[in-house]
Structure 1
Amino acid sequence: MVRLKNRYLLVEVDYKDNKLDESFNELAILTAIRESVAVNFGDYGLGCNLSSLQVKYYSPFTGTCIVRCATSENERVVTSLALMTEVKGRPAALRLLRIAGTLGACKDAAAAHSAARLPQLKLAPRQQQAAEQLHAGISALEL
């Protein structure tokens, strides 16, 4: 039996308008990544990525997300992320922070990045509480 190997990408979504929109979720990011792969690599590139491409975690407060992709399709996804200019109609830049072979290593990097980023944010008390809950939710990701 063949085991499918995955890579986990820690990506930071930097919105150019600097507005916080809590309505964005994993599905919105996944749809934007799939559209970018389809535009840049066509139907073949999209078809190769459909089975393994998944957004495991997204925090709208810190703008970090964890994306899973197949090891063989890693370069296409990274290229598509770099070429993205908008997410759901909002101008944005996506930066690759880390590539990891396991979800645990990517979780650790995401937790460290979020912990460093949360004190820099100027959030309302309700938003600060929600952001801390999302930061605590990183550890709840299933391995």
Structure 2
Amino acid sequence: MVGFKNRYMVMEVSVDPNKDISKDDPIILSQHNVSKAIKDSILLNFGECGLASSLGSLQVKYVNPITKVCIIRASRDEHQKVLAAITMVRSVGNCPVVFNLLDLSGPVNLQL
């Protein structure tokens, strides 16, 4: 029996300081909004094949709208693609945002 090997990414969502935003329109973070923004980014940057390969394990597990922290699960094979797509997300809903990676679970081999 083989278990699924996943990576969990802890992300912080902050308002993009380079964009103009009215103070009356706060960021509305929900699992649905964050998930839709990530899936749209994967589709835009990696196409339908990239989205289809990522959808099997991609899930927004936790979103805290107060602290602006979310946890995203992706398979071990697809986590680099998902992380690349997350860094290219520029808005959640109508609010310009920037994602910041706080932690990534599992052994990480970053090759720069």
Q: Give the TM-score, by structure 1 length.
A: 0.65
Aligned residue for 2:85?
80
Aligned-pair CA distance for 1:10: 0.3
Q: Name which of structure 1's ranges 11-20 and 41-50 shifts more when overlaid on structure 2.
A: 11-20
Deviation at 1:94, TM superposition (A): 0.7
1:6-28: CA deviations, max 9, x gaps? 0000001112346544x531111
1:99 aligns with 2:104: yes
Deviation digits for residues 47-76 of structure 1 (CA, Å, limit 9, x no counterpart) = 011110001110111110000000000110
Matched, 1:32 2:37: yes
Deviations for 1:106-134, whole angstroms, at most 9, x for unmatched residues? xxxxxxxxxxxxxxxxxxxxxxxxxxxxx
Alignment root-mean-square deviation, CA:
1.5
Aligned to 1:10: 10
Q: TM-score, normalised by structure 2?
A: 0.82
Query: Deviation string for 1:80-116 (max 9, x for gaps)?
Result: 1111111112111111111013xxxxxxxxxxxxxxx
Structure 2: state its 5+ residue gaps. Answer: 107-112
Q: In proportion to residue count, which structure has more strand?
A: 2
5+ residue gaps in structure 1? 102-143
Q: Is the 8 A contact 2:26 2:95 kept in 1?
A: no
Contact 1:20–1:61 (CA<8 Å) still a contact in 2? no
Task: Give the corresponding residue for 2:109.
Answer: none
| Higher CA-based Rg | 1
* Inter-partner Cα distance in structure 1 for 2:29 and 2:12: 14
Higher relative contact order (CA 8 A, sep 6+): 2
Higher helix share: 1
Structure 2 CA distance, aligned partners of 1:57 and 1:40?
A: 24
Percent identity over paired residues: 35
